[in-house]
Amino acid sequence: MDYRKLGHSGAVVTAYCLGTMTFGAEADEAASHKLLDDYFAWGGNFIDTADVYSAGTSEEIIGRWLKSRPTEAKQAVIATKGRFPMGPGPNDVGLSRRHLNQALDASLARLGIEHIDLYQMHAWDALTPIEETLRFLDDAVCAGKIGYYGFSNYVGWQIAKAAEIAKARGYTRPVTLQPQYNLLVRDIELEIVAACQDAGMGLLPWSPLGGGWLTGKYRRDHMPTGATRLGENPNRGMESYAQRNAQERTWSIIETVEAIASARGVSMAQVALAWTAARPAVTSVILGARTSEQLADNLAAASLILSEEEITKLSDVSQPHLSDYPYGASGTNQRHRKIEGGR
């Protein structure tokens, strides 16, 4: 079993985390509990949820599972998030002390626990001073309500600012960032990964399969059908589907993943997941399976070690398109190459 430190903390989690956004929406309680059982039987110990997942239902489903599985509950590392609206009032949203105090207590109640291991800010809040948010989180750690905290969907300057303010004021420092990261979406490598590494924060990638694209579900210029999110709900996300479908880079990446998967006798999902898990600063990859079969296939990625040649092929074909400046040939990337080469 591959255990990794949760950022710069002393806690350890498995390299693959069970994401629960589907709980209460695409998976009912029985199916959700089966996914949790299967994941822990495999050896996993890390569960990620959020208060807004199915309007709190995901946390409630997990809470009832924890209560019915005391042995697994002792081993489980629980992560949840707060920030987005959980009510109609003007203070039912954001990262203010007022909202977070209510949101955290509500999450604890739904989960049926007294302590959350990792409490994550679901997105930046431009209206609330970052000092207010960080002080609340430090107080929550001191009160024993949370063990650690992290961010989700923050950009580089936001991460750096928060980490430096926490350090300067002697507050508990953030340990993780949860960003979208996969072979199709690598823009976090421009600044966000470096900001996390500088702060000693680990990455918890969400959507590591690019919304199903990296599993081979979709084919060039064929409208999605059948048991896919787009196939079941064609009006949802069709604009982004059309944009991705029109990019030659998309199909070059998919073809490379498919070729490596075929040569290794594994699924495309396993190849894509293994690449993400091997990236610098990654602590745990969040799996969003809807069925036990999907989860089993995804977890098999833990046994797949890609060769340097395979990693290079995948990395080269998926390089993000950069403008010339500041990240392109005459900007940051060129400067890095010169420094690495001894100028």
Mean pLDDT to the nearest integer, 191-213? 97
Residue 229 has pLDDT above 70, yes or no: no
Give the model's pLDDT for residue 269.
Answer: 98
Asked whether residue 224 carries a pLDDT value surpassing 90, the answer given is no
Contact (Cβ atoms closer than 8 angstroms) between residue 305 and residue 274: yes
321 to each of 22, 172, 223, how far by Cα in Å?
A: 32, 37, 26
Q: Mean pLDDT score of the chain, rounded to an integer?
A: 92
pLDDT digits (tens, 9 = 90+) for 250-265: 999 999 999 999 999 9
The token duo for 37 is 């059982």
Domain of 105 in residue numbering reads as 3-316
CA 30, CA 76: separation in Å to the nearest integer?
A: 19
Residue 52 domain flag: yes
3-state helix, strand, coil in the chain (%, to 5): 50, 15, 40
Compute the distance between CA of residue 271 and CA of residue 160 in angstroms, rounded to an integer: 32
Rounded to 5 degrees, what are φ and ψ at 285?
-95, 130
Three-class secondary structure of residue 204 per DSSP: coil
Question: Tokens 């694209």 identify what position?
Answer: 213
Q: What is the pLDDT of residues 57-104, one digit of tens each?
A: 999 999 999 999 999 999 999 999 999 999 999 999 999 999 999 999
What's the CATH code of the domain at 292? 3.20.20.100
d(CA 112, CA 70): 12
Answer yes or no: is 327 within a domain. Answer: no
Cβ atoms of 294 and 237 within 8 Å: the answer is no
Average pLDDT over residues 146-169: 98
Domains held by the chain: number: 1
Residue 329: pLDDT band with limits 50, 70, 90? low
User: What tokens appear for 64 in the block?
Assistant: 């009832």
**Candidates 3, 16, 39, 53; catalytic one:** 53
How far CA 76 is from CA of 17, 232, 282, in Å, comes to 11, 33, 20
Active site residue 53: yes
Query: Strand order in 77-82's β-sheet?
Result: 202-203, 176-178, 146-152, 116-121, 77-82, 46-48, 16-19, 285-287
- Asked if residue 85 has a cis previous peptide bond (ω within 30° of 0), the answer is no
Kindly tell me if the per-residue pLDDT of 21 is higher than 50. Answer: yes
- Residue 325 is assigned to a structural domain of this protein: no
Number of Cβ within 10 Å of residue 282's Cβ equals 19
Greatest Cα-to-Cα distance within the chain, rounded to the nearest angstrom: 61
Is residue 85 helix, strand or coil? coil
Q: Answer whether residue 336 is part of any domain.
A: no
Residue 338 reports pLDDT greater than 50: no
The strand pairing partners of 4, in sequence order, are 13
* Residue 340 counted as domain residue: no
- Give the C-alpha separation, 29 to 16, whole Å: 22
Q: Measured between alpha carbons, how far is 240 from 244 in angstroms, rounded to an integer? A: 6
Q: Which residue has the tokens 């009510």?
A: 87
Q: Is residue 84 part of a domain?
A: yes
- In 3D space, the residue among 284, 3, 8, 2 whose CA is nearest the CA of residue 148 turns out to be 8
What's 331's DSSP letter? S
Closest CA to 6 of 86, 120, 118: 118
* 232-248 pLDDT tens trace: 555 656 666 777 776 88
Secondary structure letter of residue 180 according to DSSP: B
> Does the pLDDT value for residue 340 go beyond 50?
no
- Does 117 fall in a domain? yes
Q: What is the pLDDT of residue 238?
A: 62
- At residue 325 the predicted structure's pLDDT band, cuts being 50, 70 and 90, is confident
Q: In the chain, where do the E strands start and end? A: 3-5, 12-14, 16-19, 46-48, 77-82, 116-121, 146-152, 176-178, 202-203, 285-287
CA–CA distance, 187 with 227 (Å, rounded to integer): 29
Whether 272 is in a domain gets the answer yes
Question: How far from each other are the two terminal CA atoms of the chain, in whole angstroms?
Answer: 41
Query: Could you identify the residue written with the tokens 């998967």?
Result: 261
